[in-house]
Amino acid sequence: MMWKCLRMTAFWVLTTVVLVACSAQSGPTATFDPENQKEYGVNGIYLGQNIKEAMDILKPTKADFMDMVTRQSYSVEQMAQGEGEAVMGMLLVGQSQMMIKVHKGELTSIMLGGVPREDAQKFKTYRGLTMFDSARQLEKLYGKGVDEQEVVYEGSKYTAHFGFVDNQVAWFRFDRKSS
C-alpha cells in the first residue's frame, strides 16, 4: 500500500512539473496580460530582462551605450554586471534603429520607430504586432486601448504606447514605470 501511495505521489509531482514547464514555454495568452513583463517586448527581448541576454537575442550590427547623466560610455558586460544608473542605448538592427534604456543591468525601456516598410515583419511584439499593422489589428491583439493617435496599455509596473500615422503603427514604446 505504501509503494502505491508513493508512486501516486510521484506521478502527481511529475505531472505538475510538466504542466508548469509547458505553460511557462507557451506563447501569449488569448488576451493581453498587462502584468506579464514579456508582453512589453519585441523580437524576444522584454522589459526587466538582463541586457546581456537581450543583446544576445537581438544581435545588433551596432550598439552604443552612454549614461544620460554622466555621459560615460558603457559596455554590455559592464551593464550586465549592474553598472550604470540611467544608460541609453542606440542600436542598429538591420536597417532600423532601436533605442533602449538600461538601469542596473535590466531593460527599462524599448523604443522602435522609423522601420523601413520592407523590414516591418522583422520586428514583432510578443503578441505578433508589426510595424505598419492597422489600428484594428492592434485592438484585435491587445484589446481596446486609450486614445486614438497614441494608444496606451497599462499594467501596475509597465506601459505600452503605440503611435499611428494614417491608421498604421508607426512606432511603439514599452516602459517600466518609475518606482
Question: What is the arrangement of strands in the sheet containing 62-67, beginning at the earlier edge strand?
Answer: 62-67, 87-93, 96-103, 106-113, 168-176, 158-165, 150-154
Euclidean distance between CA atoms 172 and 10, whole angstroms: 47
More confident residue, 145 or 77: 77
**Average pLDDT of the segment spanning 111-140:** 94
Burial of 71 (0-12, 13-18, 19+ CB in 10 A): exposed
pLDDT tens-place string over residues 68-83: 989 999 999 999 999 9
The one-character DSSP state at 31 is: S
Task: Give residue 3's pLDDT.
Answer: 55
Residue 157 CA, chain-centre distance (Å), reads: 13
**Average pLDDT of the segment spanning 142-170:** 90
Euclidean distance between CA atoms 103 and 109, whole angstroms: 9
